Amino acid sequence: MASDTKSDSSVDRPAILDKVDPAPWHEPPLVLNKRSFNWVTEKICGIVEGKTPTWWWWCFITSMIIASFTGMGLVYLVSTGVGVWGNNNPVNWGWAIVNFVFWIGIGHAGTLISAILCLLKQKWRTSINRGSEAMTVFAVMCAGIFPLFHVGRVWFAWWLFPLPNANAIWPQFRSPLEWDVFAVSTYFTVSILFWYMGMIPDLAVLRDRAKETWRKYFYGVLAMGWRNANNHWRNFEMAYLLLAGLSTPLVLSVHTIVSFDFAVANLPGWHTTIFPPYFVAGAIFSGFGMVLTLLLPLRAVFGLHDLITQTHIDNMCKITLATGSMVGYAYSMEFFIAWYGANSYEGFAFINRAFGNYWWSYWIMVSCNVICPQLFWFKKIRENTPLVWIISIFVNVGMWFERFVIANTTLSRDFLPSSWGYYSPTVVDIFTFFGTFGFFSVLFLLFLRFLPLMPLAEVKSVMPQANPHGGKHS
Amino acid sequence: MATSMDIKYGVSATFNSAKDIYEAAGQVREEGYKNWECYTPIPVHGLDAQMGVGRSKVPCFTLLGGVTGFFTGMLIVWFMNAYDYPLIVGGKPYFSPIYPFPVFYELTILFAAFGTLFGMFFLNRLPQHNHAVFEHPNFGKTGDDKFMIVIEIEDPKFDEVETPSFLKSLGGKSITTIRETID
C-alpha cells in the first residue's frame, strides 16, 4: 500500500505534493502476534473438534434446566389459557410485547456487524460476525415465542400468514401487526440464509479435516461440496456482498416496523414519528450489549485474545457509546416534543412516565441506557474487560426496561381515569421470560460445539499474508 | 472393484502464499490454458483478473428474486384484501400501493435473498458432493494455508510432460496427478 505514494503516474501533479510527508496512519493489526493461517484454522476448528469441555456440560445442563421454565410456562398457558399471564385491561400487552421487542432488538447487532459493517469495509468485524449472527438467529427464535403464544390459541397462529383457512378470511394488510409478521419472518429467514451461506467454506474445512464418519457426513452434507475454487469464491463473495446489501435495509426496516406496532396506534407516548430511528438505535445498542456479554467470556475461555483484540473491544464499546447516546437523545427529544406539541395528553404521558406509577422502571432505564455507557468515553474503562462485561449486562437490563416503560406506562394510564389500571407480571410471565435465556444459551452452546465460531476465510483475509502484492510471509 | 477405472483428471501444483499463486495464475493465463482453476483458503484479492474471469452473475438472480418478491407482495395483498374477500378496515382503500408497502418491501428482500443464495449455488454447481479434486491427497490443505493450481487434462494445451514442468517452473511445489476412480 505504501508504495502507491511514490507512483509517478499523474502528470499535473502539483510540486508541493512531493514535499508533503503524509502522516503515518497507524492501523492496529486485527490478528495479534503475527499468527499464521494454520494457527487460525487449528484454533477455530480445535474448538469444534476437541473433547467437549467439562464447563460446557455444566453450562448446557444449567441452560436446559433454565429453558425448561419456558417449557413449563408455555405448557401451563396452552392448557389453561392466555389469562395466566398478567395482562389485563387496560394493559393488554404486558410482558409479551416487552420480551418480544427486547429479543428482536438483541438480534440487530448481529446483522449490523455482518451486513452494515461489511458494506462499510470495517475489517474488524470478521472475528466477531459469526458469533453475532448466531446470536441474531437465536434471539429471533426467543422473540418469536411471545407473540406466537400471545395469540391465545397457538394452534391457530398460522392464520397470521396468508394461507387459505376454513373461514375463507385472509389476513388484513392495513395492520402494523401483519407487517410485523412479514418483517420478522423475513428477518429470521434472511438471517439464517446469510449465516449459513457465510459458513459454507468453513464447514468445508471441517469436512476435510473430519476423522469420524458422522463428522464427514454432517459437515459434508452442510458444506454442499464446496471446494475452495476461485470460481466458487468469486460467486460467493458477490453473493455475500449482495446479502449484506439486502440485510442492511432489512435490519433497519424490522425495528422500524416493530416500532410501528406502537407508533401507528393513536396513544399518547406511542404516536410519535421519532419511534423508527429511536427503536433502531436502541436495537443496535442492546445488541452490542449482548455481543459483549457473550464474546468476552468466550474470548477468555477459548483464549481468543489474538483474534478478538482490544481494538475489537474498543470499537464495540464505542458503538455502544454512540448508540446509547442516540437513545438518550431520543428520550430527551420525546419530552421536548411532548411539551412543545402542547398536547395535554402527550404531556401527561411523559410526566407520568418519569414520575408516575412506573417511575422506578423509567429511572432504571435512564441509568442503565444513558448514564452507564457514558463510561466508555474513558480508555481505562474500555480496557478493563470485566468492567466492560458488567456494563454490557446493564445495557441489556436497561433496554428491557425501555420496552417495559414504553409499553406499560402508556397503556396503564388510559384516556379515562376510570379505566386506569396497574400491571404486574404473574409467575407464569416470569418463568416464561426467564426460561428464554436458557433456551438462547442452549442454542448458543450447541453452536459453539458444532459450528465454526469465526469465519476462517474472512479472518485470514484481514491478515497481512492475504495480500497478494507482497504481503509478509510468516 | 475389479471393474473400477482410473481416470486422469489433471495436474496440480501447490503454492505457499497468496502472492505466489497470484503471480503464477497470471502466467498460466498468459500461457493460454483454458480449463484450469485455483484453489485457495481465502478469496485472493485480484485473482479473478489474473485468471481472466469476469464479474460474477449472481446479481442477475438477486434482481430476478427482488422483482418477483415485490410483485408477489402486491399480488397477495390485492388478491386477498381487494379481490377475493374485500374487507373495509379503517376507511382505507381495498388496495393501494401505500399502506401495505412494508409487505412488498419485506418480500422483495426475502425473494432477493433466496435468489442470491440459490443463484450462488446454481452458478457454483452446488451441491456437488463428488469431484475429482477431492481425490487429491492434500486437498484439505487448500482450506487451511496452501494454494493450489489444477490444470485439467481436458485443456487443449494440456501435455503429459510440458504441463507439469511448466507448473514447476512457476514455483509450484508437490506436482501431483489427480486421478478419479470410477466404479
- Considering the domain architecture, whether residues B63 and B112 belong to the same structural domain is answered as yes
Question: Do A401 and A312 contact (CB within 8 A), yes or no?
Answer: no
Q: Nearest C-alpha of chain B: how many angstroms from A245?
A: 10
Q: Is B160 helix (H, G, I), strand (E, B) or coil?
A: coil
Distance CA B160, CA A111 (A): 50
In this model, does residue A9 exceed pLDDT 60? no
Distance CA A194, CA A86 (A): 37
- Considering the domain architecture, whether residues B66 and B118 belong to the same structural domain is answered as yes
Higher pLDDT pick, A7 / A105: A105
What residues of B are in contact with residue A205 (Cβ under 8 Å)?
A: 41, 140, 143-144
Distance CA A111, CA A448 (A): 19
- Considering the domain architecture, whether residues B64 and B40 belong to the same structural domain is answered as no
Residue B86 lies in domain: 58-123
- Considering the domain architecture, whether residues B113 and B142 belong to the same structural domain is answered as no
Nearest to A244 by CA among A190, A292, A199: A190
Cβ <8 Å between B116 and A457: no
Which of B123, B147, B166 marks a domain boundary?
A: B123
Nearest to A197 by CA among B48, B121, B135: B121
Average pLDDT over residues A398-412: 93
**ipTM of this predicted complex?**
0.93
User: Judging by beta carbons within 10 Å of its beta carbon (0-12, 13-18, 19+), is residue A81 exposed, middle or buried?
Assistant: exposed
- List B150's β-bridge partners, or say none: B12, B37
In this model, does residue A15 exceed pLDDT 50? yes
What residues of B are in contact with residue A233 (Cβ under 8 Å)?
A: 40, 42-44
Question: Do A32 and A313 contact (CB within 8 A), yes or no?
Answer: no
The model's pLDDT over A342-380, given as tens digits with 9 standing for 90+, comes to 999 999 999 999 999 999 999 999 999 999 999 999 999
Average pLDDT over residues A405-424: 90
- pLDDT for B90 equals 83
In this model, does residue A473 exceed pLDDT 50? no
What residues of B are in contact with residue A243 (Cβ under 8 Å)?
A: 113, 116-117
A323-348 burial, b at 16+ Cβ within 10 Å, e below that, comes to bbbbbbebbeebeeebeeeeeeebbb
Query: What does each of the 183 residues of chain B score in pLDDT, given as a tens digit?
Result: 456 677 889 999 999 999 999 999 999 999 999 999 999 999 998 999 999 999 999 999 999 999 999 999 999 999 999 999 998 888 889 999 988 999 999 999 999 999 999 999 999 998 998 898 998 888 989 999 999 999 999 999 898 889 999 999 998 888 989 988 776
Average pLDDT over residues A57-76: 96
- Considering the domain architecture, whether residues B23 and B44 belong to the same structural domain is answered as yes
In this model, does residue A18 exceed pLDDT 90? no
- Considering the domain architecture, whether residues B50 and B62 belong to the same structural domain is answered as no
The model's pLDDT over A318-340, given as tens digits with 9 standing for 90+, comes to 999 999 999 999 999 999 999 99
Question: Do A114 and A125 contact (CB within 8 A), yes or no?
Answer: yes
Q: 401527561: which residue's cell?
A: A348
Residue A379: partners with Cβ closer than 8 Å, 6 or more residues away: A314
Please tell me which of the candidates A190, A228, A470 has its beta carbon nearest to residue B41: A228
What residues of A are in contact with residue B45 (Cβ under 8 Å)?
A: 461, 466-468
Distance CA A197, CA A457 (A): 13
pLDDT classification of A2: cutoffs 50, 70, 90 = very low
Is B42's Cβ below 8 Å from some Cβ in A? Answer: yes
* Amino acid code (one letter) for A99: N
Question: Do A261 and A97 contact (CB within 8 A), yes or no?
Answer: yes
Reading the block at residue A376, the C-alpha cell is 466508555
Average pLDDT over residues A62-77: 96
Task: Please compute Rg for chain A using Cα positions.
Answer: 25
Average pLDDT over residues A411-434: 91
Distance CA A439, CA A418 (A): 40
- pLDDT for A3 equals 44
153-192 in A: which are within 8 Å (CB) of B?
162, 168-176, 178-179, 182-183, 186, 189-190
Domains of chain A: 53-155+174-458 (1.20.1630.10)
The model's pLDDT over A262-314, given as tens digits with 9 standing for 90+, comes to 999 888 889 989 999 999 999 999 999 999 999 999 999 999 999 999 999 99
User: Judging by beta carbons within 10 Å of its beta carbon (0-12, 13-18, 19+), is residue B174 exposed, middle or buried?
Assistant: middle
- pLDDT for A21 equals 79
Percent of chain A with pLDDT over 70: 97
End-to-end CA distance of chain A: 19
- Considering the domain architecture, whether residues B30 and B117 belong to the same structural domain is answered as no
In this model, does residue A6 exceed pLDDT 70? no
- Considering the domain architecture, whether residues B116 and B76 belong to the same structural domain is answered as yes
- Considering the domain architecture, whether residues B45 and B62 belong to the same structural domain is answered as no
Reading the block at residue A101, the C-alpha cell is 421487542
Please count the structural domains in chain B: 2
Q: pTM for the whole thing?
A: 0.92
> For the residues of A266-312, what is the DSSP string, one character each?
--TTT--TTHHHHHHHHHHHHHHHHHHHHHHHHHHHHT-TTTS-HHH
In this model, does residue A149 exceed pLDDT 60? yes
Is A327's Cβ below 8 Å from some Cβ in B? Answer: no
Is B34's Cβ below 8 Å from some Cβ in A? Answer: no
Q: 436502541: which residue's cell?
A: A282
- Considering the domain architecture, whether residues B63 and B149 belong to the same structural domain is answered as no
Cβ <8 Å between A186 and B123: no
What angle, 0 to 180 degrees and rounded to 10, lies between the N-to-C axes of helices A385-412 and A344-355? 130
**Longest CA span, chain B:** 81
Residue A460: partners with Cβ closer than 8 Å, 6 or more residues away: A37, A40, A466, B41, B42
- Considering the domain architecture, whether residues B36 and B83 belong to the same structural domain is answered as no
- Considering the domain architecture, whether residues B62 and B75 belong to the same structural domain is answered as yes
Question: Do B58 and B116 contact (CB within 8 A), yes or no?
Answer: yes
Cβ <8 Å between B102 and A170: no
Ramachandran quadrant class, B179 (left: phi over 0; alpha: psi -120 to 50; beta: rest): beta
Average pLDDT over residues A246-252: 93
pLDDT classification of A224: cutoffs 50, 70, 90 = very high
Cβ <8 Å between A243 and B113: yes
Phi, psi of B91 (to 5 degrees): 65, 15
**Longest CA span, chain A:** 83
Average pLDDT over residues A405-427: 90
CA distances from A308 to A30, A31, A124 (A): 8, 8, 9
In chain B, the residue whose alpha carbon lies closest to the alpha carbon of A216 is B129
- pLDDT for A7 equals 47
Question: Do A281 and A373 contact (CB within 8 A), yes or no?
Answer: no
Distance CA A301, CA A47 (A): 10
Average pLDDT over residues A73-79: 95
